[in-house]
Amino acid sequence: MKLQEVLGGIYVMITEEESDLLAEMFTENEYVNESQLSERAALIADKLVHKGVLVPTLRGYRVN
């Protein structure tokens, strides 16, 4: 488990798998379309949306 900063001073716990997905697929101000993600990665991305780490948009997921 790792701490991930969501907003200035607010942190959430993320798993190693979630951390690996963030490092592999997501960079600042880049969008990742859901079609670019595997089925498992899409499930993890949805969990990260609920934790406030990712933001879903019409263009795809973006790091908050």
The pTM assigned to this predicted structure is 0.85
Buried b / exposed e over 27-61, threshold 16 CB at 10 Å, is eeeeebeeeebeeebeebbeebeeeebbeeeeebb
11-20, pLDDT tens digit by residue?
899 999 999 9
What confidence score (pLDDT) does residue 3 get?
Answer: 83
* Per-domain boundaries in the chain: 2-63
Cα separation, 43 vs 49, in Å, equals 10
What confidence score (pLDDT) does residue 47 get?
Answer: 94
